[in-house]
Structure 1
């Protein structure tokens, strides 16, 4: 993974996972390669790099991934990889993060949005939707609306 100065630091889970699983060019990581990465399973180490970007607890992550906190701790201790469904969810959340950075111009602004009650989402905090594939899709759609100036 490329090293950045603190002010430029960016972790790209999808890029990191792509390299870890033998894909050298992130620009070519399409849906079939993401499926392949998911099938092989995201390692806890790669997941941990993503988790550090967010202000969520490990219990929050366990809830998003629909596993117990104890199971998540065991994955960490045993350096296990996640199953396909959990790996897909991790990749989807990473792609949401990347999209949020693009739309809001910084990770800080995106994380504020993610934790703030949102009228367009029925007064729900966007982070409360991360446990569902449909919720993540809704958030991606909302980011597109924000990008185009359609706020409600």
Structure 2
């Protein structure tokens, strides 16, 4: 299964062991920049934002694009984590637009930071997953 196609083939809530193993294998192989770019262009984040999420300079991102490079496993894993979180958020909020609004608004429950500002850390992504779970089940406190 192609790298980011795994996300469309499996829902966030229904990722079973087979899907997780496929994701692990895709992460180990790395995500090709072209596949990432096609995926990133469909989402709300700019390449500059992705650069910050992945801890890469804009110049490095441009080089990856020009040279058609493959992301290493750490960056590939972060791309998958964000993609899965985005799918979960879209499911919880009903539309990508509503989830995007939540991502860009300061959130009191998260210490008055914008949720998307936490995408650069696995701990931040996990915090957002937990928050989405609370929203999904109506536990807002």
Q: Do they fold alike, i.e. is TM over 0.5?
A: yes
Summarize the Cα distance change of 1:72–1:119 in structure 2 as closer, same or farther, 3 Å threshold. Answer: same
Alignment correspondent of 1:30:
19
Alignment correspondent of 1:47:
36
Alignment correspondent of 1:91:
80
Q: Does 1:121 align with 2:99?
A: no
In 2: Cα distance, 1:29 partner to 1:126 partner: 30
Give every structure 1 segment of 4 or more consecutive aligned residues whose post-TM-superposition deviation is greater than 4 Å. Answer: 26-29
Contact 1:54-1:111 at 8 Å conserved across structures? no
**TM-score of the superposition, structure 2-length normalised?**
0.86
Higher relative contact order by CA 8 Å / sep ≥ 6: 1 or 2?
Answer: 2
Alignment correspondent of 1:65:
54
Alignment correspondent of 1:146:
135
Contact 2:7-2:83 at 8 Å conserved across structures? no
Summarize the Cα distance change of 1:89–1:150 in structure 2 as closer, same or farther, 3 Å threshold. Answer: same
Structure 2 gaps, min length 5: 10-14
Could you give the per-residue CA deviations for residues 41-77 of structure 1, whole angstroms, max 9, x where no partner exists? Answer: 0111221123223333222111110111111111111
In 1: Cα distance, 2:97 partner to 2:8 partner: 23
Give the secondary-structure state (helix, strand or coil) at the position aligned to 2:132.
helix
Number of residue-to-residue matches in the alignment: 134
**TM-score of the superposition, structure 1-length normalised?**
0.80
Alignment correspondent of 1:6:
none
RMSD between superposed Cα atoms in Å: 2.1
